[in-house]
Structure 1
Amino acid sequence: MTASSEGAPLAEPYECIFEFQPGWIDLTLQEGTKAEAMALATEVVSGLNPLGLAIETRAAFDDMVQRAVRLNDDVPVLAAAYYTETGEALANLMVDGYRDEGVPRPSAEEVTPLMLQWANAQVTGEPQITRLELPAGPAVRVQSMLKVKRRLGFGRKLTEYIRYAVFPPRLQTLVVVTITWEKIARSEEITALADEAVRSMQLNPVSREGVPIPADGETE
């Protein structure tokens, strides 16, 4: 499945493309409304085999609507979720882009501590921090456990996350990919799915009209 970002308006125009494996559902919304999420979920659920679902079709629909609205709350570049063949949601994926006009893009050293910061959660344990080369550019990868505040502030739940900070060589934007999940018993499987998805990501500059800009800098 190919997913191409049509989410948040970008200060530096570029296309964000994923070659998603089966199971990943692109939940990016243009307007971020529940009506838009319902239309998207209707299209996706209509293609599912109800006999293969471990949950009611209505439950899968409701989960997809709520998840799409929640993931698009902060207007990401792209939002997606991984669903098993039985209709169970395993992980969320969000892409965000950061660029301040006239301000140099932060370095890997500057970004790394920021990747451990959460508004509603606290990193627990020793995070795994690595640097690597992705097809989309050099990157810093962080994986760690989180204690996330529950709604209304009562108690915390354990969540795991992977966060990539990607430095595309043809862009000035810092691109951050965040994958979160709560089914810790399936962390090995979800980690493999997440890393595979991020390796498929392409970040290509485009003109203001949306025309891809080739490496030689001339629009076609």
Structure 2
Amino acid sequence: MTAPDDPAPLDETFECTFEFQPGWIDLTLREGTKAEAKALATEVVNRLNPLGLEIEKSAVFDDMVERAVDLNDDVPTLAAAYYSEAGEALANLMVDSYGDEGVPRPGADEVIPLLLEWGNAQVTGAPEITHLELAAGPAVRIQAMLQANRMLGFGRKLTEFIKYAVFPPDMQSLIVVTVTWEKIAVTERIAELADEAVRTMRITPLPTRPTEGGTA
């Protein structure tokens, strides 16, 4: 529950779009229901080339439904996943926005330790940090390995991630794009695909909804 003196979240609405390369599937759900995820997965799977698949269509369908529901659990601005031609999901991509009323947006250096924070995992090794100029605004890119605890605390698994903190010039919110994957063998390819995707990202501020009692 939010404390009475906590600042209210920023009321900034915006449109986020990508020009995804083939293989990326937009899994954003408006209602967040499993029924919606099944409808989306049905449409996507029906377009797949069965000759290129190395796994059953039903397995791709089940993965896509579960992945869509999981990725939309925290109601991101956008959720997507990259699937190989063989039908295997290789990476997840999520876009979120952060900001509170009356609280200045963190700067490029201030945001770095925030990007390295994970709930049930720890960054291992030295992260690779670069500063970018994207169409959506200046950005900080962090790539690193992540060591996550497995269910029930038995063992750990390694995941790799890239986070992009984007500072749109016409907004107060901080936009964060997170890409994660587990197969280290595809790191170079996924990093390339992620970088290509964020270069096409466009953030378009939309008119805010009028407050109650205000004029339309």
Distance 2:11 2:182 in 1: 33
What is the alpha-carbon distance in structure 2 between the residues aligned to residue 64 and residue 126 of structure 1? Answer: 33
Q: In 1, Cα distance between the equivalents of 2:54 and 2:79?
A: 24
Q: Distance in 1 between matches of 2:91 and 2:171?
A: 28
Counterpart-to-counterpart distance in 2, 1:152 and 1:68? 24
- SS of 1:39's equivalent in the other structure is helix
Task: Count matched residues.
Answer: 201
2:195 — aligned with what? 195
- In structure 2, the residue matched to 1:40 is 40
Alignment map for 1:48-197 (pairs within 5 Å): 48-197=48-197
The code of the aligned residue for 1:54 comes to E
The whole-number CA distance in structure 1 between the counterparts of 2:11 and 2:163 is 22
Asked whether 1:15 is paired with 2:4, we answer no
Give 1:89's aligned amino acid: A
Matched AA of 1:78: L
TM-score, with length taken from structure 1: 0.89
Alpha-carbon distance between aligned partners in 2 of 1:144 and 1:61, rounded to the nearest angstrom? 30
Q: Secondary structure at the match of 2:85?
A: coil
Q: Which amino acid aligns with 1:131?
A: H
**TM-score, with length taken from structure 2:** 0.90
Higher relative contact order (CA 8 A, sep 6+): 2
Distance (whole Å) between structure 1 residues aligned to residue 179 and residue 79 of structure 2? 10
- Unmatched tracts of structure 2, length 5 or more: 1-9, 210-216
Identity %: 73
- What is the CA deviation profile of residues 72-128 of structure 1, one whole-angstrom value per residue up to 9, with x for unaligned ones? 111100000000111011100000001101111111121111111100111001100
Q: Matched residues in 2 for 1:151 and 1:62: separation?
A: 21
User: Which residue matches 2:213?
Assistant: none
Q: Deviations over 1:4-38 (max 9, x none)?
A: xxxxxx82011101011111000001111111111
Q: Does the 8 Å contact 2:41/2:65 carry over to 1?
A: yes
CA distance in 1 between counterparts of 2:11 and 2:94 reads 18
Which position in structure 1 is the counterpart of 2:7? Answer: none
Helix, strand or coil for the counterpart of 2:175? strand
Q: For residues 205 and 165 of structure 1, what CA distance do their matches in structure 2 show?
A: 17
1:3 aligns to what?
none
Q: CA deviation at 1:51?
A: 2.1
Q: Where does structure 1 differ by over 6 angstroms across 4 or more consecutive aligned residues?
A: none
Distance across 1 between alignment mates of 2:93 and 2:114: 18
Q: Is the CA contact (8 Å cut-off) linking 2:159 and 2:180 kept in structure 1? A: yes
**What is the CA-CA distance between 1:202 and the residue it aligns to?**
0.3
The residue type equivalent to 1:97 in the other structure is S
**What SS is found at the alignment partner of 2:186?**
helix
The separation in 2 between residues aligned to 1:65 and 1:149, in whole angstroms, is 24
Instruction: Determine if contact 2:11/2:208 at 8 Å carries over to the other structure.
Output: no
Q: Deviation of residue 160 (structure 1)?
A: 0.3
Q: Which amino acid aligns with 1:17?
A: T
How many Å apart are 1:204 and its aligned residue? 1.1
